[in-house]
């Protein structure tokens, strides 16, 4: 088996492929510096290891995501930040060769427990993907799909209300309110991503995971999404993976720096960007590599 043995359900995230672990054997017992744990943790990961077949993609990561906070995860390609994010709502389950060990809890409950239902988990922990991926259905259907399969609306009026509210929260309502029956795939890239955010918040999740949500967008669309993330943190707990350090600095309260599968440093965003304590973090945020 190798990393190319994937099912129709998406390949192994590309960052896992370039991982060469033999170089850093010296760091085996690395201890994260900074404050990985917080008092008001919504989700907490302890000693998490993720493997793709025999590739060790995440090593002993312990990290909390504070409630109603934005946690940014940064790091060079292949550092495992997307893999870590996807293990938070068990999206990694659909990759047959992926294995997760350690403990990840949502509100103190182990999400990898045998009695944990992934459908329920993903309703509570929503996700926005790197590439906007609206369903090839109408804008209305895109937003209504989640609430419908979970039976959240009991009438058409209630559903309309959920759709409108979700689109408003994703600051897309004014642009699409007259074209709700048009296909979601016909919107612009930025609008599509906001539609995906609306779709995610329509099921009222507690946590929203964002995997480089702006990487396919232009600066204006990116700015709108960033504004939106700032508003959304009032209601939701957000974890965002990003390649843009400016974005991490703008939208997050805490920042975690990953390097080759290890969590190097976590801390207050301001502190990470002004006074990084680890050499690797400093090198990365000052643009010396990555």
Residues in the site for another protein, rule: CB under 8 A? 7-11, 89, 91, 94, 96, 119-123, 126-129, 131, 133-136, 145-146, 149-150, 196, 199-200, 202-203
CB burial string 165-178: b at 16+ within 10 A, e below: bbbebbbbbebbee
What is the residue whose two structure tokens read 């995501």?
65
d(CA 174, CA 250): 25
CB nearer to another protein: pick between 11 and 275: 11
Instruction: Tell me how far, at minimum, the Cβ of 150 lies from another protein, in Å.
Output: 6
Kindly list the strands in the beta sheet with 98-106, ordered across the sheet, starting from the edge strand earlier in the chain: 55-66, 41-52, 98-106, 109-110
Compare residues 123 and 221 and give the one whose CB is closer to another protein. 123
Q: Which is nearer to another protein, 122 or 224 (CB)?
A: 122
Angstrom distance (rounded) from CA 224 to CA 27 = 39
Judged by beta carbon, residue 30 or residue 135, the one nearer another protein is 135
- The string of DSSP codes covering 208-250 is EEEESTTTTS-HHHHHHHHHHHHHHTTTSEEEEE-S-HHHHHH
Minimum CB–partner distance for residue 147 and another protein (Å): 9
If the CB atoms of residues 85 and 245 are measured against another protein, the closer one turns out to be 85
| Residue 1 C-beta: closest distance to another protein, Å | 10
Q: Are strands 207-211 and 237-241 parallel, antiparallel or unpaired?
A: parallel
Helix (H) / strand (E) containing 161: helix 156-169
DSSP string, 7-58: -SS-PPPGGGTT---GGGGGGTT---EE----TTEEEEEEEEEEEETTEEEE
- Return the closest-CA partner of residue 231 out of 254, 197, 261, 264: 197
Nearest distance, CB of residue 227 and another protein, angstroms: 23
Please say which residue, 92 or 269, places its beta carbon nearer to another protein: 92
User: Shortest distance, CB of residue 124 to another protein, whole angstroms?
Assistant: 8
Closer CB to another protein, residue 146 or residue 261? 146
**Cβ 192 to another protein shortest distance, Å:** 11
Q: What is the total residue count of the chain?
A: 290
Q: Is 18 or 96 the residue whose CB approaches another protein more closely?
A: 96
Q: What minimum distance in Å lies between the beta carbon of 208 and another protein?
A: 10
d(CA 239, CA 41): 12
Q: How far is the CB of 282 from another protein (least distance, A)?
A: 35
């Amino acid at each position: 088996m190798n990393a190319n043995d994937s099912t129709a359900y998406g390949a192994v995230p590309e960052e896992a492929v370039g991982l060469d672990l033999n170089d850093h054997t010296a760091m085996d017992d690395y201890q994260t510096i900074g404050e990985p744990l917080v008092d008001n943790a919504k989700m907490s990961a302890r000693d998490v290891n993720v493997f793709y077949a025999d590739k060790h993609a995440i090593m002993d990561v312990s990290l909390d995501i504070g409630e109603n906070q934005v946690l940014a995860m940064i790091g060079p390609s292949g550092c495992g930040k997307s893999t870590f994010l996807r293990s938070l709502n068990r999206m990694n389950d659909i990759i047959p060769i992926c294995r997760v060990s350690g403990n990840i809890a949502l509100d103190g409950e182990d999400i990898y427990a045998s009695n944990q239902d992934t459908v329920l988990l993903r309703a509570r922990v929503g996700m926005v993907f790197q590439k906007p991926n609206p369903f090839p259905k109408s804008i209305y259907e895109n937003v209504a799909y989640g609430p419908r399969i979970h039976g959240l609306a009991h009438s058409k009026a209630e559903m309309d209300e959920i759709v409108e509210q979700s689109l408003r929260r994703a600051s897309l309502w004014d642009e699409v309110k007259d074209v709700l029956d048009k296909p979601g795939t016909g919107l612009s890239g930025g609008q599509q991503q906001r539609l995906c955010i609306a779709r995610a918040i329509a099921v009222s999740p507690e946590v929203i995971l964002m995997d480089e949500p702006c990487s396919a967008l232009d600066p204006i669309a990116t700015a709108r999404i960033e504004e939106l993330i700032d508003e959304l943190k009032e209601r939701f707990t957000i974890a965002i993976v990003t390649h843009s350090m400016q974005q991490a600095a703008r939208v997050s309260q805490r920042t975690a720096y990953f390097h080759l599968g290890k969590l190097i440093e976590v801390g207050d965003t301001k502190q990470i960007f002004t006074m990084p304590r680890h050499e690797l973090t400093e090198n990365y945020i000052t643009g010396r590599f990555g």
